[in-house]
Structure 1
Amino acid sequence: MTTETAHDLPVDERLGILTAEYVVGLNIFRDIAAAVRDTFGGRSETMQRGLREAREAALDDLRAQAVQLGADAVVAVDLDYSEISGGGKSMLFLVASGTAVKLSQV
């Protein structure tokens, strides 16, 4: 779930906002592969793997934080991706955020 307005998610208490940051370097090989794909079209599997890796790591971090708080779920999850580049290097930066909640016991 990415929203707490779902009818089957009885939120009882909001415990707080969680954030997780993940930064991965896009080495020269990824940069070259992306440039080739940009020029000739198609999907860059290398870049997709990097995005998937970042997303999974950030969501794992949110889950771990939720467990530490005693939360039952994390709702309203938002993923924001950015690229940071300079000095001939580029990095992928991902921030994941969501609200840790306790659910009503049925």
Structure 2
Amino acid sequence: MIITTTNQVEQHTITKYQGIVFGEVITGINVFKDIGASVRNVFGGRSRSYEDELTAAREEAIAEMVQRAKRFDADAIVGMKMDYEVLGSDNGMLMVTCSGTAVTLDR
């Protein structure tokens, strides 16, 4: 499935707008990742564990959005946007959401 942040797909014509589709993932960051991130926060450097968690959450949200677009028999998702938030009283949850418009393209 083609996924693009633009409102069109190059060399294709959108023949039908199927509807808006979403993907949402909320994931907890465990205490061990927090400890490693705290050390990096003091001494500097990248937090590989947080980066891996963010990558996994992003990929899962996109996959969920694609599955919902397939229910419309869509060929592509245009205008895709992604957002990140932290949730919970201790900011221990990561929420990744994405949305776009499922469309059918000329064949």
Alignment TM-score > 0.5, same fold = yes
Q: How many residues align?
A: 104
> Percent of aligned pairs with the same residue?
37
- The RMSD of aligned alpha carbons is 1.4
Aligned to 1:103: 105
Q: Deviations over 1:6-57 (max 9, x none)?
A: 5334222111001111011011111111111111111111001100110111
- Using structure 1 for the length normalisation, give the TM-score: 0.89
Aligned to 1:13: 16
Judged with a 3 Å threshold, the aligned counterparts in structure 2 of structure 1 residues 9 and 37 are, in CA distance, closer, same or farther, namely farther
SS of equivalent to 2:20: strand
1-structure distance, mates of 2:18, 2:64: 16
- Unaligned ranges ≥5, structure 1: none
2-structure distance, mates of 1:14, 1:25: 35
- Using structure 2 for the length normalisation, give the TM-score: 0.88
- Quick one: which of 27, 30, 35 aligns to 1:32? 35
Question: Would you say the 8 A contact 2:8–2:14 is kept in 1?
Answer: no
Question: 1:70 and 2:73 equivalent?
Answer: yes
- Unaligned ranges ≥5, structure 2: none
- Quick one: which of 81, 86, 102 aligns to 1:83? 86
